[in-house]
Structure 1
Amino acid sequence: MIELLRAASLSDVPHGFAGRRGGVSTGVHAGLNVGLGSADERQAVLHNRDLARDALLPGAALVTVRQVHSADVVTVTGPIDEAERPAADAMVTDRPGLILGILTADCVPVLLADRKAGVVGAAHAGWKGAIAGVTDNTLASMEKLGARRDQISAAIGPCIGRTSYEVTSDFARHFEEQDAENSRFFSTGREGHCQFDIAAYVAARLAIAGVGRVEMLDEDTYSQPDRFYSYRRSCHRDEASYGRQISMIAVG
């Protein structure tokens, strides 16, 4: 069975954060791997995408982008062929019948909705996109479709947790130079290193930007190999490839 985690803040909006449970992939990709960029069998990945779509809204069109760790946002008005996916890391739409899907394997998936305006968004926030403002740009794009920030609810799905995300002190300084207050997202680690709470950083950016409600699911992808794919865990295990999970949202 496919596991779709739901956020209370989006309870009346079609959405779900899928993990790796269910699906037809095998080996290191075992489960619901939806990553076309992985070394998995293409037909298995395409079948998994169909399974994920049907677990949320059977018959709807699943739209994804070619994620490049940017702050770029695409406004989706209709289905997009897999071969024509634009390079971007977030999408917004006000069109029913479309599922926006963001792929992750430790990075932060963010699903957003303004119910009153009938506008939804989905963002992939790796550290590069997060610090560059991918969530801020997503909010701006939602506003262009009629959304209001104080009416938007945002949910942060499964991603790498603070205890699993070791970074260098130089990495942390990059964030602290942007804003001294960002030091609160880093805790002391071994010499020359610290632990980064990227989910809290993304949540804070959303709150500062004026989002009405921000929810964190608090699920660590790295420490739960039976439930989630994790790029960092795969690297630590010297695995040849890794899977990706999908987070989805649609206009209700």
Structure 2
Amino acid sequence: MFYVSRLLQKHGVQAVFTNREAGTTADFSLLDETKLAHNIQVLCHQTHMPIPHQVIQAHKAEVLHCSGLGHMHQQEADILLATDQGVALAVRTADCVPILLADQQAGVIAAVHAGWKGTVAQAVFKAVQAMCERGANAEKIVTSLGPSIGPCCFEVSPDVAKKFSDVCQQNVSFYRHGTYFVDLASVNQEQLLCAGVQPENIETSSHCTVCHIDPLYYSFRRDEGDTGRQLSMIMLA
């Protein structure tokens, strides 16, 4: 149903990533708010976390600072940030990279939704900058990248492959059987390193949301858009 980030847990931070079993159970765009709220309440009960703050995800790199009781903000953002204990943040994904970050000592956490457009916009790099503006130290930030589409399945056009090469210091795209593929998680790892996060403070899931079977994940690409969402949630205890 969900797994706990061992790295963040080791540093005193609660963080979980759900799979298909704990995600929404219908086409996300058609799911009524009552059912969605029930699913979230069940997850929060099982993880002992409060209702999280969520936003309208727009595949960009805007930041929203969250405080108080969690709720759905009618605002576009792909980076959520909090500095209060007991506040939970969550992002929804179905192939995009969910990234949870924390500087436990400074009391700053963030949740990032990084699809390919948000990754090209350097959302996670900007998230680290925003955390540091709130008192975090990049070298002490601990981060976990959850399940996302892997380089095995993330086929892209030549134009999209070039967009990645324009913002990456290393080669994250490769040509196979006449098609370009991109390692989306590696691009975000590179951005974390460039932002000052230490290699030992980065944890990355090896599960591809498209082809991994046990557990099974929702995948926008595999299911041609008719799919649910995983939820990735973090709280500063």
**Is 1:215 matched up with 2:203?**
yes
- Corresponding residue of 2:47: 56
Residues 22 and 61 (structure 1), Cα distance of their counterparts in 2 relative to 1, 3 Å cut: closer
Work out the CA distance in 1 between the residues paired with 2:77 and 2:93: 14
Which of 37, 43, 52 is matched with 2:34 structurally? 43
Q: Secondary structure at the match of 1:85?
A: strand
**TM-score, structure 1 normalization:** 0.85
Aligned residue identity for 2:124: T
Aligned residue identity for 2:54: T
Residues 4 and 89 (structure 1), Cα distance of their counterparts in 2 relative to 1, 3 Å cut: same
**Is 1:72 matched up with 2:59?**
no
CA RMSD of aligned residues (A): 1.9
**Is 1:106 matched up with 2:74?**
no
Residues 131 and 7 (structure 1), Cα distance of their counterparts in 2 relative to 1, 3 Å cut: farther
Aligned residue identity for 1:152: I
Q: Secondary structure at the match of 2:29?
A: coil
C-alpha displacement of 1:43: 2.2
- Corresponding residue of 2:76: 87
- Corresponding residue of 1:186: 173
Aligned residues between the structures: 233
Q: Secondary structure at the match of 1:162?
A: coil
C-alpha displacement of 1:133: 1.6
Matched ranges for 1:204-243 at <5 A: 204-212=190-198, 213-224=201-212, 227-235=216-224, 241-243=226-228
C-alpha displacement of 1:80: 4.9
Work out the CA distance in 2 between the residues paired with 1:223 and 1:231: 12
- Corresponding residue of 1:198: 184
C-alpha displacement of 1:188: 1.8
1:77-107 Cα offsets, whole Å, 9 max, x none, are: 223543x432100111111121100100000
C-alpha displacement of 1:214: 1.3
Work out the CA distance in 1 between the residues paired with 2:43 and 2:189: 26
Q: Is the 8 A contact 2:61 2:126 kept in 1?
A: yes
Q: Secondary structure at the match of 2:118?
A: helix
- Corresponding residue of 2:130: 141
Residues 10 and 176 (structure 1), Cα distance of their counterparts in 2 relative to 1, 3 Å cut: same
Aligned residue identity for 2:35: A
- Corresponding residue of 1:32: none
- Stretches of structure 2 that go unaligned for 5 or more consecutive residues are none
Identity of aligned residues (%): 30
Which of 147, 152, 171 is matched with 2:160 structurally? 171
- Corresponding residue of 2:14: 14
Q: Secondary structure at the match of 1:140?
A: helix
Q: Secondary structure at the match of 2:76?
A: coil
C-alpha displacement of 1:139: 1.1
Work out the CA distance in 2 between the residues paired with 1:219 and 1:196: 15
**TM-score, structure 2 normalization:** 0.91
- Corresponding residue of 2:232: 247
Aligned residue identity for 2:137: R
Aligned residue identity for 2:33: R
Work out the CA distance in 2 between the residues paired with 1:247 and 1:22: 11
- Stretches of structure 1 that go unaligned for 5 or more consecutive residues are 30-34
Of stretches 114-123 and 225-234 in structure 1, the one that deviates more from structure 2 is 225-234
C-alpha displacement of 1:177: 2.8
Aligned residue identity for 1:72: E
Residues 102 and 22 (structure 1), Cα distance of their counterparts in 2 relative to 1, 3 Å cut: closer
Q: Is the 8 A contact 1:102 1:123 kept in 2?
A: yes
Q: Secondary structure at the match of 1:53?
A: helix
